[in-house]
Amino acid sequence: MQAINTALCSFGMSGWVFHAPFITTNPGFNFYGVWERTKNLAKEKYPSVKTFSTLEELLADKNVELVIVNTPSVTHYDYATQVIRAGKHLIVEKPFTATVEQAEELIALAEKKKVKLSVYQNRRYDSDYRTVKKILDQGWLGNIIDAEIHYDRYVPELSYKVHKETPTPGVGCLYDLGSHLIDQAIQLFGMPIAVFADIATNRPGSKVDDYFDLKLFYTNHRVTLKSSYYVREPMPGYQIHGTLGSFIKHKTDVQETDLQAHKKPGGNEWGVEPESQKGLLHTEKDGKVIKEYIRSEKGNYGDYYDAVYDAIRNNKKVPVSGEDGMKVIQVIEAAIKSNKEKMVIEL
């Protein structure tokens, strides 16, 4: 196995929590370098890593094959463009871009340069989402009538990260948490035909949105996506109702918590939710009513990196394509327009 020399564009939370643990424990990757402007935090934890002071210096290194653009969202388009032009494969954190136009340009440029481009949608690899997808794929609920997906938090204070509170393109709750929910909705139900949105700012002093309620319209059902920074007691993350029954599941994937506690990914217990977090399935099969708690599927962000390796070394499809990322931005743009014009926007 020829390891892929990989470089991060930053070593903040995204770098040390969501990426470094997986590229350092996967034999298909070598944590080769990191762009750190003033500090050497990565080197303290990973002594063999090479530190670059500028993006230009990183991209000039011929040993770098894969670059992870995990910087503030406002920089994604600019940095991703530079990475592609340097002929490097790349992973771009969500949100992919601020606009559909930017996404289209990056997709076209990556194709022209013949580099692999993927968007990091790690929540596809959460145990809760995987459990919901399995229930739907197996047809336990019949034809879907209504679905509601939440990603709520209780964080009334403003973020210490200035870029998260500065009203620039690609910033705010809709782009941040909304990117996860929209991607999951598209994966589960396909692209909606129309969108209606209510987007608001509730925290004192905040200049960016911290609440949204999106209604996605499909031919035969509706999907509601909600997020708020003022939810101390969270509702179930997933409420799916169909012609045969319902499935209710809290968002309880344990990976992020374990990663923040500096636990290394891997092993039989990685990504396994506690028994108390089983989802409730209330449905019927062959005329018999079933009401039982379902054991959660195992989550693993490492599966994303396995697929990235296959894409680069074996010319397989990337796990989350640029087109996937662009569809999310299409819905976000429609939601912003809907909120502004107070009307349903067709896609």
The arithmetic mean of pLDDT across residues 173-187, rounded, is 98
Return d(Cα 133, Cα 131) in angstroms, integer: 5
How far is residue 164's CA from residue 143's CA, in Å, rounded to a whole number? 39
In this predicted structure, what is the pLDDT of residue 252? 83
> Residues 101-159: pLDDT tens digits?
999 999 999 999 999 999 999 999 999 999 999 999 999 999 999 999 999 999 999 99
Percent residues over pLDDT 70 in the chain:
100
What percentage of the chain has pLDDT greater than the value 90? 95
Alpha-carbon distances of 54 from 57, 82, 87, 93, 107, rounded to whole Å: 5, 12, 17, 19, 24
Rg (CA), the chain: 20
End-to-end CA distance of the chain: 44
pTM: 0.96
Helices (H), 138-274: 162-165, 173-189, 255-260
The average pLDDT across 219-235 equals 96
> For 63-84, what is the mean pLDDT?
97
Q: Specify whether the CB–CB gap between 81 and 67 falls below 8 A.
A: no
Q: What is the pLDDT of residue 11?
A: 95
Say what the pLDDT of residue 69 is.
98
Kindly report the length of the chain. 347
Least confident of 13-22, 39-48, 129-138, 206-215: 39-48
- Per the prediction, the chain carries an average pLDDT of 96
The CA distance from 335 to 196, in Å, is 6
- What CA–CA distances, in Å, run from 1 to 62, 65, 201, 314? 20, 15, 49, 11
**pLDDT tops 90 at residue 253:** no
Q: Which domains does the chain have, with CATH numbers?
A: 4-122+304-320 (3.40.50.720), 123-298+331-346 (3.30.360.10)
Residue carrying structure tokens 């609920």: 141
**Residue 234 banded pLDDT, cuts 50, 70, 90:** confident
User: What pLDDT is recorded for position 309?
Assistant: 98
Residues 25-47 pLDDT 10s: 999 999 999 999 888 889 899 99
| Residue 100, φ and ψ in degrees, nearest 5 | -65, -40
Kindly state the average pLDDT of the residues 308-337.
Answer: 98
For helices 173-189 and 127-137, what crossing angle results, to 10°?
30
Q: Which helix (H) or strand (E) holds 127?
A: helix 127-137
pLDDT for 181: 98
Question: DSSP assignment of 16-84, as one string?
Answer: IIIIHHHHHH-TTEEEEEEE-SS--HHHHH-TTPEEESSHHHHHH-TT--EEEE-S-GGGHHHHHHHHH
pLDDT at residue 291 in the model: 97
